[in-house]
């Protein structure tokens, strides 16, 4: 992940923006707070991987003096996303006028997917196979100490978070530490929910911790889990998906802000990064009811790739980055801006020291089947243009989302793997049955 840029945040490209529908019976931004608070820090079985960090979330909330209802959660499971939506066709998606308001009566909670095994370690950052007693997995000679390092060769041991995969009906996600970073600071959450009429809604959230900040791994995990819980609480009650996404981003931001509440915690966690508050980027997708909703802050992206590959693929988000700012203000060409060393410095993020938060949301209605790819820059650095990413994505991505997510991650690793890489693949429309894509 890049460092944060200094200066004013840029204005975003208008074509990817859409007005946020009013929330049902709540003041602006209020529903997100209530949605996040209603679950506290307890694991939600509908969110795959959430239990990986729920315990750390509770401890963070307690340490900050805020109860579980404040949204001060620690790391949480992979994010929720929806399929791509393109009203007039994939090349130039435009925000629809807004679907009809769904019935107010929420359906029964869908069957919960099998939750992944709970970690044995007490912190999501240190998922070591054998702390203090095991043999090093690399040199096979030294003993692994309590902090997860071999006392013989000094190497860190593999952690559960180094590589994670999750698959639910209609969505799959993969994250990998990459070849250069000592830990994985990305996180994701994927989940199944329902709309008021009982039809399925699938979501995926992907967050990228800012490496120059303290506790970037905790920031990404907290934001993704809180956002997923917020969406799962709001969608069945009749909140428009675009409003629900907007409020979920606000709830995620609040959870990241809470990580900075303790003045001494950053130094204890990482003595080299205590000057910057925890921070991360955010991108999420929700697919349901014939609608694709995207929300983002930062430079994590969403792409739409139609099943008909004769139609063009489209990037659905605009980066909050130095390079995008230069291009938007006509100060540089795109080629010049992205060749600059400052290109990937972000101008928008979730965190206590962020500029005024401006969640971006957009709604689309694709005119045919396809998939939404939600990812961090660890992938798009190796396939930046939509047509490049589509060329790597398998042709059967709609039917095999997990295989497709693995393929995209493998592409980034083969290209160098200089950063953590996280990818979620969400078919549109959501499959009616369980996907078997492995």
Q: How confident is the model at residue 262 (pLDDT cuts 50, 70, 90)?
A: low
Assigned token pair, 352: 């206590």
Ranges of H-type helices in 203-279 = 216-234, 241-259, 265-269
pLDDT at 79 over 60: no
For the chain, give the mean pLDDT.
75
pTM of the model: 0.70
- Predicted confidence at residue 141, as pLDDT, reads 85
User: Strand ranges (DSSP E) for 143-247?
Assistant: 163-168, 171-176, 186-194, 200-208
pLDDT digits (tens, 9 = 90+) for 95-147: 333 333 333 444 433 333 343 333 333 333 323 333 345 788 778 888 888 77
3-class secondary structure, 270: coil
pLDDT at 81 over 50: no
Burial (CB count within 10 angstroms: exposed 0-12, middle 13-18, buried 19+), residue 433 = exposed
- Could you give the domains of the chain? 14-120+160-428 (3.60.40.10)
- Predicted confidence at residue 45, as pLDDT, reads 53
- Predicted confidence at residue 396, as pLDDT, reads 96
pLDDT at 56 over 50: no
The residue that leads in pLDDT, 27 or 55, is 55
The predicted model gives 49-73 an average pLDDT of: 41
- Predicted confidence at residue 3, as pLDDT, reads 54
pLDDT at 211 over 60: yes
- Predicted confidence at residue 379, as pLDDT, reads 97
Element (H, E) at 432: none
> How many angstroms separate the CA atoms of 256 and 251, rounded?
9
How would you list the strands of the sheet with 200-208, edge to edge?
A: 47-48, 186-194, 200-208, 282-288, 291-297, 360-364
The predicted model gives 414-434 an average pLDDT of: 87
Identify the weakest region by mean pLDDT among 90-94, 200-204, 259-263: 90-94
> How many angstroms separate the CA atoms of 366 and 164, rounded?
30
pLDDT digits (tens, 9 = 90+) for 384-419: 999 999 999 999 999 999 999 999 999 999 999 999
Interior/surface letters 146-168, b for 16+ CB within 10 angstroms, e for the rest:
eebbbeeeebbbebbbbebbbbb
Assigned token pair, 259: 């990580």
pLDDT at 87 over 50: no
């Amino acid at each position: 992940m890049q460092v944060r840029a200094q200066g004013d945040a840029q204005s975003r490209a208008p074509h990817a923006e859409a007005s946020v529908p009013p929330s049902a019976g709540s003041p602006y931004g209020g529903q997100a707070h209530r949605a996040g608070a209603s679950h506290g820090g307890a694991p939600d079985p509908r969110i795959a991987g959430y239990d990986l960090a729920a315990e750390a979330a509770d401890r963070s909330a307690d340490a900050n003096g805020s109860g579980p209802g404040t949204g001060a959660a620690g790391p949480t499971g992979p994010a929720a996303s929806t399929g791509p939506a393109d009203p007039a066709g994939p090349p130039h998606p435009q925000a629809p006028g807004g679907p009809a308001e769904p019935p107010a009566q929420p359906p029964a909670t869908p069957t919960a997917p099998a939750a992944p095994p709970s970690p044995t370690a007490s912190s999501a950052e240190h998922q070591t196979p054998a702390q203090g007693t095991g043999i090093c997995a690399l040199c096979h000679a030294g003993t692994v100490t309590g902090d997860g390092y071999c006392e013989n060769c000094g190497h860190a041991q593999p952690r559960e978070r180094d590589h994670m995969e999750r698959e639910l009906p209609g969505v799959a996600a993969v994250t990998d530490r990459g070849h250069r970073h000592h830990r994985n600071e990305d996180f994701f959450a994927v989940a199944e929910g329902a709309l008021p009429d009982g039809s399925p809604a699938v979501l995926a959230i992907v967050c990228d911790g800012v490496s120059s900040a303290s506790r970037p791994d905790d920031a990404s995990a907290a934001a993704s889990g809180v956002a997923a819980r917020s969406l799962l609480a709001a969608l069945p009650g009749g909140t428009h998906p675009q409003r629900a996404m907007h409020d979920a981003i606000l709830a995620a931001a609040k959870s990241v802000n809470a990580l900075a509440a303790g003045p001494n915690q950053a130094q204890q966690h990482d003595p080299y990064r205590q000057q910057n508050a925890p921070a991360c980027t955010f991108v999420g997708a929700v697919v349901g009811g014939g609608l694709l909703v995207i929300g983002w802050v930062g430079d994590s992206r969403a792409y739409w790739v139609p099943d008909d590959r004769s139609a063009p693929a489209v990037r659905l988000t605009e980066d909050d980055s130095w390079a995008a700012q230069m291009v938007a203000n006509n100060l540089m060409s795109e080629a010049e801006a992205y060749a600059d060393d400052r290109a990937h410095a972000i101008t928008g993020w979730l965190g206590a020291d962020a500029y005024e938060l401006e969640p971006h949301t957009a709604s689309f209605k694709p005119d045919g089947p396809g998939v939404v790819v939600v990812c961090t820059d660890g992938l798009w650095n190796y396939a930046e243009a939509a047509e490049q990413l589509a060329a790597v994505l398998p042709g059967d991505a709609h039917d095999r989302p997990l295989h497709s997510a693995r393929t995209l991650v493998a592409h980034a690793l083969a290209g160098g793997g200089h950063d953590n890489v996280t990818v979620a693949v969400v078919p549109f429309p959501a499959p009616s049955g369980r996907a078997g894509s492995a």
